[in-house]
Amino acid sequence: MTNNKSFQAVVAGTGSYLPEKILTNQDLEKTLNTSDAWITERTGIHERRIASEEESASVMAAKAGKQALEEGGLSPENLDLIIVATSSPDVLFPSTACFVQNELHAFGAAAYDISAVCSGFIFGLSIAEQYLKTGRYENILLIGSEVNSRIVDWSDRATCILFGDGAGAMLLKRVEQEKPLGILSTHIYSDGSLSDLICVPGGIGKTGINKEDIDNKKYFIKMSGNATFKVAVKRMTDVIREALEFNGLSMEEVGILVPHQANQRIIRAVAERLEYPMEKVFMNIHKYGNTSGASIPIGVDEARRTGSIKPKQTSVLAAVGAGLTWGSAVIKW
């Protein structure tokens, strides 16, 4: 399909879903050699949400997606595409997005998953942006949903304290307009040479699921914390600067920065390098921990509902995740 029209990809609605169960640092003190003070000092996390037995990535994704559709005033049957960013899918296949499609009865849409872990939602935005700006599709539902609690080793205090469950969604719509609006640009990168920094090393296609890997807990998240910290700060800072330069913007023109909620120290270090005031940086890591691919959309939805994101404001989203992957996006509201 080719056309000479100028299309923009705008955010028509957002939504989020957090499980009811709260796991506090004090709860973790009962089973781990750790403390609330130790966790708070190193991560900024006080508590996180944990999915119930009835909740999966698709269940939470559908609930967040329904909110976004309701706010955008769109019926599910009018969706053209559903993209779910997740690294904790319901099953290996079919895709989590197909389960969401079935739950929403959005049978006129294509549906598929993408896997870029904590950067997944930004990668999804880059895909949706192209479909909408080229005029190929009109309505896209993009969701990040994670049940990290199912893939962490609850005896490993280096990782289990970090992660939580949840889902966030964004309804993106094509509009015909010359003036830049909505997603102004996306910038995504990967470096497979750093794949061992954050990973779930247990094999499926390579070695097959095997008892030795299960016994060695290789089907849980493993992370090199210090090395990841250094790389994450640099990559996120660089990709934010690239996004600003691409759009001819300065940090002073950014109304709010919504970073991936991985670690409070990472977020503060990025803001310091950018010389950006912390009071304009959105953070909810203290309540939810690291929700991986759901982190950005949960943050955007909460920021919008609390008034931290305002109409006509420009915001920057940025994330770093396993792969290594990283990316940024600039949105004019």
Question: What's the CA gap between 122 and 190, in Å, rounded?
Answer: 12
Of these residues, 148, 160, 187, 260, which one is catalytic?
A: 260
Domains defined for the chain, CATH in brackets: 7-176 (3.40.47.10), 182-332 (3.40.47.10)
Beta-bridge partner residues of 332 = 182, 314
Owner of token pair 């781990």: 32
pLDDT tens-digit series, residues 115-144: 999 999 999 999 999 999 999 999 999 999
Cis before 324? omega within 30: yes
Phi/psi region, residue 263 (left: phi>0; alpha: psi -120 to 50; beta: rest), is: beta
Q: Which two tokens stand for residue 158?
A: 């280096």
Considering 25, 139, 148, 290, which one is annotated as catalytic?
290
Decide if 143 contacts 171 (C-beta within 8 A): no
Question: What is the token pair recorded at 38?
Answer: 């130790």
**Predicted TM-score (pTM) of this structure:** 0.97
Q: Which of 282, 283, 298, 264 lies closest to 161, judged by CA?
A: 264
Asked if 226 is an active-site residue, the reply is: no
Question: Annotated catalytic, 118?
Answer: yes
Task: Give the model confidence (pLDDT) of 35-88 as tens digits.
Answer: 999 999 999 999 999 999 999 999 999 999 999 999 999 999 999 999 999 999
Burial 60-94 (b: 16+ CB within 10 A, else e): bbbbbbbbbbebbebebeebbbbbbbbbbbbeeeb
Q: Which two tokens stand for residue 264?
A: 């409070």
Tell me the pLDDT of the chain (333 aa) as tens digits: 456 689 999 999 999 999 999 999 999 999 999 999 999 999 999 999 999 999 999 999 999 999 999 999 999 999 999 999 999 999 999 999 999 999 999 999 999 999 999 999 999 999 999 999 999 999 999 999 999 999 999 999 999 999 999 999 999 999 999 889 999 999 999 999 999 999 999 988 888 999 999 999 999 999 998 899 999 999 999 999 999 999 999 999 999 999 999 999 999 999 999 999 999 999 999 999 999 999 999 999 999 999 999 999 999 999 999 999 999 999 999
Which one is catalytic: 25, 118, 148, 187? Answer: 118
- Residue 164 — φ and ψ, nearest 5°? -140, 175
Query: Packing angle between helix 295-305 and helix 120-133, nearest 10 degrees?
Result: 70
* Of 123, 152, 140, the residue nearest 9 (C-alpha): 140
**In whole angstroms, what is the distance from residue 280 CA to residue 235 CA?**
20
